[in-house]
Amino acid sequence: MNNVPDIFGSMVFNEKVMQQRLPRDVYKAMKKTILDGKRMDLSTANVVANTMKDWAIENGATHFTHWFQPMTGITAEKHDSFISPAGGGSAIMEFSGKELVQGEPDASSFPSGGLRATFEARGYTAWDPTSYAFIKDSTLYIPTAFCSYSGEVLDKKTPLLRSMEAINTQAMRVLKLFGNSDVTSVKTTVGPEQEYFLIDRELYNKRKDLLFTGRTLIGAKPPKGQELEDHYFGSIKPRVTAFMKELDEELWKLGVYAKTKHNEVAPAQHELAPIYTTTNISSDHNQLTMELMKKVAQKHGLACLLHEKPFDCVNGSGKHNNWSISTNTGVNLFEPGDTPHENAQFLLFLCAVIAAVDDYQDLLRISVASAGNDRRLGANEAPPAVVSMFLGEELSGILNAIEEGTAFDIRKKEHIKIGVHVLPRFFKDTTDRNRTSPFAFTGNKFEFRMLGSSDSIACTNIMINTAVAEELRKFADTLEKADNFNEACEQIIKDTIKSHKRIIFDGNGYDDEWVKEAERRGLSNYRTTPEALSHYIDKKNLELFNRHKVYTDAEVHSRYEILLENYTKVICIEAQTLLEMVKRDILPAVSLYSRDLCDSILQKRSLSKDAECIFEKETVKAIDMLSTTAYKDCAKLDELLKNMNYNENKLNLAMHCKDNLLPLMEKIRISCDSLEEITSSKCWPYPTYGDLLFSVN
C-alpha cells in the first residue's frame, strides 16, 4: 500500500507544485488569477505553460489535452503531443502559453440545441485556472470551458462558474451589511455521494440491454433481492475490495478527496463519498470519479453501472449533493453561531435557501430530469418527484416561533427577536435524518437527494446557486435601503417563513398522503422529464438566469432542446434494443424450448399412451400465449418507431415517447419476464438477475 500523503495529489499541478517551480512573481500572478479572476498576460502564461510541461514530462506525460464538459453529460478531450520539429529530423518538446490558455476543438458534433448550425464547426476551449491541471494516461489534462465561435456557452462548467460568481456577489452584499469587513469572497462547497453497481464483466457483455442502454430492459425478479437487508454496510467482497482499493489510490493521485466507501442497500450496489470542496472543483472531481470507476472496474473483470435504475427489482442509484456556503475566512454560513449577530445572519441565509427552493421548485426538478432518473424518483428508494425541505423538529420550531412571535426555548422561555435574543444553540444532529426528503438540512449543510447517479452535479448546483443568489439579492435590496437594519432583517425573516413555509415538510415523503398534501399546498409534482422540462423556459426562469448572467435566453432554450432530444433518443434506443432482444433472441429461444417440450410429449406417449404430460402441455400453452402477446406488442412498438416524425416539436416527441413507447415497452417486458420464469435456464438466452446481482465474490 502506497503512503497516502505521499501519493495524494502527486499527479496534480497544484499550489504546492506551483510554489516550488514557478518564479516568485509568476506564482503571485497565478494566485491572483485563481483567487481574483484576473486575466493573465501572455508572457506569464508562457512561463506557466513551460513549467507545467516540464513537470508533466517528468511524470511521464507526452501529450496535453483541453478537458471540457459538453452538454452530453460526460467529458470530452482532444490530445496533442508536446512534440515540435527542431530541424535535421529531430524534435523538441514545447508547450506555449497560447496553447495553455486556449484550444480549438471541432464543435460541430456536440449538442448545441440550435445555438449554431451543423456546418459551423469552430469552437473554443478556455483554461479554467481555478481547477488544477492533472496527469492521467500519460497526458496533461487542462480543465477548460467550452464555447462556440460566436460566444454562446456549449458546456456545463461555464454556467457553473457564472452561478458561483452570482451567489458570491449577492452573499457579499448581505455579509457587508452584517459588518463582515474581513470577508472578501464567498464560495459554495459540495460533497457528492456517488452510488453505483458492480457486476461481472463477462455477464455484462452477454446482455445487449446493459451494453446499449446501461439498464436491463427485461429480467424476472430473483428469489432473493434486498429483502433481508444483509448487503447494506455488510462485509465487502474480495473482488470489490480490490477494486475499491485501486480506485481510491487513483483518485488520491488526482487530488480527489475520496473518503468513505461501503456496500449500499441493493445486492451488488456500493457507494463512494468524498470530502467537501469548492463546487467547481467538486464537479470536475465527480466526472473523474465516474470515469475512473468504469476504467478500474474493467481491470478487475467487473462492469460499473451508473444508470439510475439498472435493475427493476431492487433500489436504484442516486447521488446526494451535500451543498453549503463558506466565506474565505473559513466560516460556514449555515452554522448558527453563539451571538445574536451570527444568529440573525444564519437565519437570513437559511431563509434565502427556503425561499429559493420554494420559488424555483421546477428548476430543481429539471436539474435532475432524465429518462433514467424518472424510473427511480417516487419509488421507496429515493425522494418523491415533489420538491420539499426537511429542517428537523428544533429548527422548524424556531422558525414557527419567529413567525408567531412566541417562545421556543424550553429552558429560558425567551421570546424570539432577531438581533437581540440569543438563539437556542443549534447543534449538529439535533434531529434524525429524513432520507425521504429531497432537500434536507443536515446540521451545517443541505443534502439534495434527487440527483441520479449518472448526472453531472453541475446542473443542480447551477440551479441552487442562482436561485439562492436571487433571494439574497432581494434581501440585500431591502436591507440596504432600511433605516433600521435589525427591524428590517427581522421582518424579512418573518415574511419569508410565512410566505414559504409550505415547502417545509418533516414527515414521510414516501407516504401517499404527502402527495395529496403537497397538492393542497400548491407544490409542483412533475413525475416525468417531459413534464418538468416544459417549465424550463418559463418567463420567471428566463428572467432569473438573465438577471444573474448565468444563461442568456438562447442558452436556456438550447439546453431545453438538448434535454428533450436526449430523452427521446434514450427511449428510442431502449425500444430498438428491446425489439432486437425479443425478436432475435428471446422468441426464438422460447420457441425452441417449446419444441423440446412437444418432442418430450411425443416421446412420453410413445412409451405410454396414458401419459398426461401436464407440465409440458401447460408450459407449451403458456409459452404460446405469452410469446404471441410479446410478438404482437413488438409489432406495435416497431410501427410506432417507424412512424415517428423527428422533425416534430421536441416536447411533443418526448411526450409521445413517455405516453406511447414506454407503456408498450413495459407490456413487452411483463410478457418476457413471465417467459423467463417458465423457460429452461439452458434455453434462456441471457444471464438472469440472480446471475448479475450475486455473481461477484
In a domain, 220, yes or no: yes
* Banded pLDDT at 403 (limits 50, 70, 90): confident
Residue 121 has pLDDT above 80, yes or no: no
C-alpha cell of residue 492: 424579512
* Start-to-end Cα distance in the chain: 22
C-alpha cell of residue 290: 465516474
- The whole-number pLDDT of residue 108 equals 67
Beta strands in 47-89 (DSSP E): 63-67, 79-81, 83-87
In a domain, 292, yes or no: yes
**Which CATH number goes with the domain that contains 121?**
3.10.20.70
Average pLDDT over residues 178-185: 94
Residues 319 and 312: their CA atoms lie apart, in Å, by 18
- The whole-number pLDDT of residue 117 equals 56
Same-domain pairing of 310 and 332? no
Same-domain pairing of 576 and 505? no
Number of compact structural domains in the chain: 4
Residue 213 CB-half CA count within 13 A: 26
| Contact of 561 with 536, CB cutoff 8 Å | no
pLDDT in tens, 266-307: 999 999 999 999 999 999 999 999 999 999 999 999 999 999
In a domain, 93, yes or no: yes
Q: Are strands 90-93 and 102-103 parallel, antiparallel or unpaired?
A: unpaired
| Contact of 351 with 482, CB cutoff 8 Å | no
Residue 429 has pLDDT above 70, yes or no: no
Same-domain pairing of 309 and 326? no
C-alpha cell of residue 102: 486556449
Same-domain pairing of 347 and 312? no
Same-domain pairing of 301 and 436? no
Same-domain pairing of 609 and 541? no
Residues 696 and 693: their CA atoms lie apart, in Å, by 8
Same-domain pairing of 312 and 337? no
Q: Is the pTM of this model over 0.85?
A: yes
C-alpha cell of residue 534: 416544459
Query: Which 8-state DSSP code applies to residue 499?
Result: H
Same-domain pairing of 295 and 225? yes
**Which CATH number goes with the domain that contains 683?**
1.20.120.1560
Beta bridge partners of 107: none
In a domain, 181, yes or no: no
| Contact of 260 with 272, CB cutoff 8 Å | yes
Same-domain pairing of 236 and 304? yes
| 468 or 378, greater pLDDT | 468
pLDDT in tens, 24-69: 999 999 988 887 777 788 999 999 999 999 999 999 999 999 999 9
* Banded pLDDT at 652 (limits 50, 70, 90): very high
- The whole-number pLDDT of residue 421 equals 46
- The whole-number pLDDT of residue 341 equals 58
- The whole-number pLDDT of residue 107 equals 64
Q: What is the DSSP string of 437-506?
A: -SEEE-SSSEEE---BTT--HHHHHHHHHHHHHHHHHHHHHHHHH-SSHHHHHHHHHHHHHHHHGGGB--
| Owning domain of residue 572 | 566-694
Same-domain pairing of 43 and 126? yes
Residue 502 has pLDDT above 90, yes or no: yes
C-alpha cell of residue 639: 410501427
**Which CATH number goes with the domain that contains 212?**
3.30.590.10
- The whole-number pLDDT of residue 106 equals 67
Using DSSP's 3-state secondary structure scheme, residue 591 falls into helix
Closest CA to 524 of 369, 294, 651, 634: 369
